[in-house]
């Protein structure tokens, strides 16, 4: 074989994280129908077709293997270790997304997926290929990103108490945060609009102010550069 000859295939994988205030963070997995790793759990994904863009491929695979469509997918990393797939040399471009898991409960597996299911991020089954490594990189990316850029508002209700935003951050970071400092920094950005609504108190607590995400202000800050760190 000369240096110009290659027998490499290109694949895509979709790491979809789901969030629920009560259940925490989960990840969407499929059970493989065929070898290799038959019956093992894996991240949804597959080969890129001729004439197909990478994003079109990952959206197609996600639809075929789980039955869902997500609004936004962000490219994560390229995984190309020569031994990552026992069949042949396969390079995979991984993407990730954050969604409200409650909105994606009607899963429908087809093609080479036997089942599709949400798994708690701390109750994962053994994963096929190098998918645990892919998942770890995705988790690290999200935790790094939310430390300097407010994200995840699509995981909250349109109107929400500030405590829900705090809980979201603590769940994604998997640690406590300085709540007073977090509140001061987040409100100073001007990306939260106070509403006239109040959340019903739990137990004997006082009603909490409700907020709405100001997407226009957020997009403006993205262009100008944000100064935010948890």
Q: Is 52 exposed, middle or buried (0-12, 13-18, 19+ CB in 10 A)?
A: middle
Give the Cα separation of 109 and 209 in Å (integer): 41
List average pLDDT for each run of 10 residues in the chain, which is 230 residues long.
77 96 94 97 97 97 96 95 94 96 93 95 96 97 88 88 94 94 93 92 79 93 82
203: left (phi over 0), alpha (psi -120 to 50) or beta: left
- Residues of the chain within CATH 1.10.10.10 domain(s) are 149-224
The pLDDT of residue 28 is 98
- Residues of the chain within CATH 3.90.79.10 domain(s) are 9-147
- Whether residue 12 is preceded by a cis peptide bond, meaning omega within 30 degrees of 0, is no
Give the Cα separation of 187 and 62 in Å (integer): 36
The pLDDT of residue 7 is 86
CATH number of 149-224: 1.10.10.10
Place of tokens 């994988």: 13
Task: Give 161's contacts (C-beta < 8 A, 6+ positions apart).
Answer: 199, 208, 209, 210, 211
The pLDDT of residue 2 is 55
Closest C-alpha among 108, 147, 140 to residue 121: 140
Q: Does domain 9-147 have CATH number 3.40.50.1380?
A: no
Give the Cα separation of 171 and 132 in Å (integer): 20
Closest C-alpha among 188, 190, 193 to residue 213: 193
């Amino acid at each position: 074989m000369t240096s110009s000859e290659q027998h490499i295939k290109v694949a895509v994988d979709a790491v979809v994280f789901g969030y629920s205030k009560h259940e925490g963070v989960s990840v969407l997995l499929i059970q493989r129908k065929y070898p290799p790793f038959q019956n093992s759990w894996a991240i949804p994904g597959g080969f890129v077709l001729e004439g197909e863009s990478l994003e079109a491929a990952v959206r197609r695979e996600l639809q075929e293997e789980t039955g869902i469509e997500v609004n936004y997918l962000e490219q994560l990393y390229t995984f190309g270790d020569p031994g990552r797939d026992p069949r042949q040399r396969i390079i995979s471009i991984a993407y990730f997304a954050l969604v409200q898991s409650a909105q994606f409960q009607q899963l429908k597996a087809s093609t080479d997926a036997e089942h599709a299911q949400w798994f708690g991020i701390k109750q994962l089954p053994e994963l096929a290929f190098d998918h645990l490594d892919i998942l770890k990189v995705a988790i690290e990316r999200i935790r790094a990103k939310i430390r300097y850029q407010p994200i995840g508002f699509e995981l909250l209700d349109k109107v929400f108490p500030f405590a829900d935003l705090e809980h979201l951050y603590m769940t994604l970071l998997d640690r406590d945060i300085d709540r007073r400092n977090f509140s001061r920094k987040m409100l100073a950005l001007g990306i939260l609009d106070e509403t006239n609504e109040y959340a019903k108190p739990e137990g004997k607590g006082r009603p909490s102010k409700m907020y709405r995400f100001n997407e226009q202000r957020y997009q403006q800050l993205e262009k100008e550069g944000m100064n935010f760190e948890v």
